[in-house]
Amino acid sequence: MDDIEVPPENPEGQTDDFRSRAELLERKLDELKRQSDIRLIRAEMKVEAIRAGMIDLDGLKLLDLTDVKLDDDGAVPDAAERITRLKRSKPWLFGTSSSSSALTPPSAQPPRQKHASEMTNAEYAAARSALLRHRY
């Protein structure tokens, strides 16, 4: 059993292998950070667009976000300013800011059924027969 020779380890080969793997992992990590930053920038811009009353968030595609940088807190420092400029240049992307509306808001209370004492004889007879039909 002592006749078997074990090949000597190549420490330089292992070191080169570790270096190449470390460089590959660093590149992947940088790419993931870049993608994460892009997603965070888009999310911050969406929040500001919604606050500004943007109707269709597809309008954010009109913004050039290549020079946008995140601050230390992960926020876009000039997001509101960028949305304001977009609102001035393309106002149709945003809702109207008038307080009057053609639509009336729904009632805060649910509709109330009429009591039997408030019905006419014909309404009472129709309601009674409808109720009896559903029971049997």
Query: Are residues 91 and 56 in contact, defined by beta-carbon separation less than 8 angstroms?
Result: no
* Nearest one of 45, 49, 87 to 66, comparing CA atoms: 45
Helices (H), 1-136: 11-52, 79-89, 121-135
Query: Are residues 59 and 93 in contact, defined by beta-carbon separation less than 8 angstroms?
Result: yes
Q: Report the range out of 1-10, 12-21, 74-83 with the highest average pLDDT.
A: 74-83
Give the dihedral sign, CA 102/86/51/34: positive
Model pLDDT for residues 8-40, shown as the tens digit of each residue = 555 566 788 899 999 999 999 999 999 998 999
Which of the four pLDDT bands, split at 50, 70 and 90, describes residue 69? confident
pLDDT in the model for residue 56: 84
Q: Which amino acid is at 98?
A: S
Q: Can you say whether residue 45 is alpha, beta or left, with left for phi > 0 and alpha for psi between -120 and 50 degrees?
A: alpha
C-alpha 15/C-alpha 83 separation (Å) is: 51
pLDDT in the model for residue 92: 86
Whole-prediction pTM: 0.55
